[in-house]
Chains A and B, each alone.
Chain A
Amino acid sequence: TQLLEQSPQFLSIQEGENLTVYCNSSSVFSSLQWYRQEPGEGPVLLVTVVTGGEVKKLKRLTFQFGDARKDSSLHITAAQPGDTGLYLCAGGGDYKLSFGAGTTVTVRA
């Protein structure tokens, strides 16, 4: 089983501040996914990174895949209350996904 470590576990910030969530592993992944989950709902896929060193932007969210494809980060610029949720990174082989423990982000208005 490929393990993914996410940090921090919890993050509470004021609206307008920036934040970064990290996802690290000792294993190489062919791809990594980032999901956001709101209470009582299923996770929603935000992005998939495939190439080492890849950077993808989704509005105020920036995702980076490490050069060695063992780690990834999610950076949110000027966070808004709507960014509140559980952020999960996931990676895996051909079919099963391994999930990080998740980062609970709370953005206070």
Chain B
Amino acid sequence: KAGVTQTPRYLIKTRGQQVTLSCSPISGHRSVSWYQQTPGQGLQFLFEYFSETQRNKGNFPGRFSGRQFSNSRSEMNVSTLELGDSALYLCASSLGRARGTQYFGPGTRLTVL
């Protein structure tokens, strides 16, 4: 069974631009969660989607948004990029609600110049 895939793997943007990241969960998994990983803050929860509905949200500004499609694929959008948004963005999927076991993708490395 294929794992979680994320595209693109690497991205370079400039301040003020917006970016969309994509995540395809493991086949049959209905929950997708997004995380931001930085050296200073570690792994921080962004949001969780289950059956196309946002079920949980972390403490990030409204510039960070996401959505989930009927096939469980998810996208994450960051508008008006700031230098501090440079990070590894990780997507994880789980069979049901993300109460425990989650499987991560390789991440998208975003660099904001």
Does chain A bind chain B? Answer: no
Give chain B's interface residues, CB within 8 Å of chain A. none
- Interface of A toward B, CB cutoff 8 Å: none
